[in-house]
């Protein structure tokens, strides 16, 4: 497979916005302006902490030629409404599951990036009969990383490794969400029983790590993949934490290969 050297020029696929109401909250999502009609895989891209689906756009555009693809903003982030209280990982997953019902989506592949991987895993446990495949990228909460300060220090080391254009996206989205919400969401992810419930993820699951990701120690995602009933691991050469943004060509190719290979 030919890997991207750096974030490629933006693919000129026009995007549209859609809004749906779930549990009284307006949930915003980015979708290709012309979604595929014929039978094709449906992929849901789930963003990470302190950012919105805006950083999923490079990958979304590359998947659009082969898939139906949606990139929602989780409640409290991006353009979606703020819930009265910060939602836990399980509650974020539950809201996303009901959003799938409202939109009319079934038999979908979930792609979770960074903290979004925890939301994707929780949703896959809740809706195992409707999730065909999982992709979990940028897993960072290993046994040595379950403290706020550790995550902040690791993220600081990652900043110079990412494309320069990612930083203003993070700053803007973190400001809009508010530091309190961001930290409380992180605390929920730290408390989430992700590793202890991997055996419940029975669908084909691909664990992805960027080669130069300081938030995901190499042995951690490998151990996650090894514990999964149908897990596999791949490392993207030269990539930092945000593989979806920094290496969208390689990442989209991995996703397509994974979700179209018979399980």
Q: Is 72 a residue whose pLDDT tops 60?
A: yes
Q: Which helix (H) or strand (E) holds 54?
A: none
* Mean per-residue pLDDT, 113-121: 97
- Do the bridges between strand 25-32 and strand 68-72 make them parallel or antiparallel, or are there none, so unpaired? antiparallel
For 109, list phi and psi in degrees, rounded to 5.
-100, 130
The encoded tokens of residue 82 equal 């703020």
| Predicted pLDDT at 152 | 93
Q: DSSP state, 88?
A: P
The encoded tokens of residue 24 equal 């009284």
Q: Which helix (H) or strand (E) holds 68?
A: strand 68-72
Band of residue 3 on the pLDDT scale cut at 50, 70, 90: very low
Beta bridge partners of 209: 235
The span from the CA of 133 to the CA of 51, in Å, is: 24
The span from the CA of 80 to the CA of 29, in Å, is: 8
| Predicted pLDDT at 65 | 87
| Predicted pLDDT at 144 | 87
| Predicted pLDDT at 15 | 87
The encoded tokens of residue 109 equal 């592949």
Q: Which helix (H) or strand (E) holds 179?
A: helix 179-191
CATH of domain 15-260: 3.40.50.1820
The string of pLDDT tens digits covering residues 216-236 is: 999 999 999 999 999 999 999
Beta carbons of 252 and 137 less than 8 angstroms apart: no
The span from the CA of 221 to the CA of 145, in Å, is: 13
Compute CA distances 147 → 59, 140, 191, whole Å: 30, 11, 10
The encoded tokens of residue 186 equal 């992180």
The string of pLDDT tens digits covering residues 124-166 is: 999 999 999 999 999 999 988 889 999 999 999 999 999 999 9
* Mean per-residue pLDDT, 82-106: 96
The string of pLDDT tens digits covering residues 172-221 is: 999 999 999 999 999 999 999 999 999 999 999 999 999 999 999 999 99
The span from the CA of 22 to the CA of 14, in Å, is: 26
| Predicted pLDDT at 40 | 76
Q: Say which residues have a Cβ less than 8 Å from residue 13's Cβ, sequence separation at least 6.
A: 32, 33, 60, 61, 64, 65
Band of residue 263 on the pLDDT scale cut at 50, 70, 90: low
The span from the CA of 149 to the CA of 183, in Å, is: 11
Q: Is 5 a residue whose pLDDT tops 50?
A: no
Q: Is 11 a residue whose pLDDT tops 90?
A: no
| Predicted pLDDT at 34 | 74
Count of other CB atoms within 10 angstroms of residue 37: 7
Q: Is 1 a residue whose pLDDT tops 80?
A: no
């Amino acid at each position: 497979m030919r890997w991207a050297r750096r974030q490629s020029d933006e693919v000129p696929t026009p995007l549209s916005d859609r809004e749906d109401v779930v549990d009284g909250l307006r949930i915003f999502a980015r979708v290709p302006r012309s979604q595929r009609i014929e039978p094709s895989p449906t992929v849901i891209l789930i963003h990470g902490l302190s950012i919105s689906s805006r950083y999923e756009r490079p990958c979304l555009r590359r998947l659009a030629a082969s898939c139906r693809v949606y990139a929602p903003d989780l409640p409290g982030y991006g353009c979606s409404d703020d819930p009265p209280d910060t939602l836990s990982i399980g509650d974020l997953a539950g809201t996303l599951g009901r959003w799938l019902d409202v939109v009319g989506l079934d038999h979908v592949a979930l792609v979770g990036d960074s903290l979004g991987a925890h939301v994707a895993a929780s949703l896959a446990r809740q809706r195992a009969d409707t999730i065909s495949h999982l992709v979990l990228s940028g897993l960072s909460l290993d046994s040595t990383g379950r403290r706020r300060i550790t995550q902040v220090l690791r993220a600081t080391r990652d900043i110079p490794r990412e494309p320069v254009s990612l930083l203003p996206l993070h700053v803007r989205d973190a400001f809009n969400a508010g530091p309190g919400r961001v930290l409380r969401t992180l605390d929920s992810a730290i408390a989430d029983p992700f590793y202890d419930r991997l055996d419940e993820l029975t669908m084909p699951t691909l664990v992805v790590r960027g080669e130069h990701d300081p938030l995901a120690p190499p042995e951690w995602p490998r151990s996650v993949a090894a514990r999964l009933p149908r897990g596999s691991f791949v490392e993207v050469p030269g990539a930092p934490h945000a593989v979806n943004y920094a290496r969208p060509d390689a990442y989209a190719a991995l996703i397509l290969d994974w979700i179209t290979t018979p399980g």
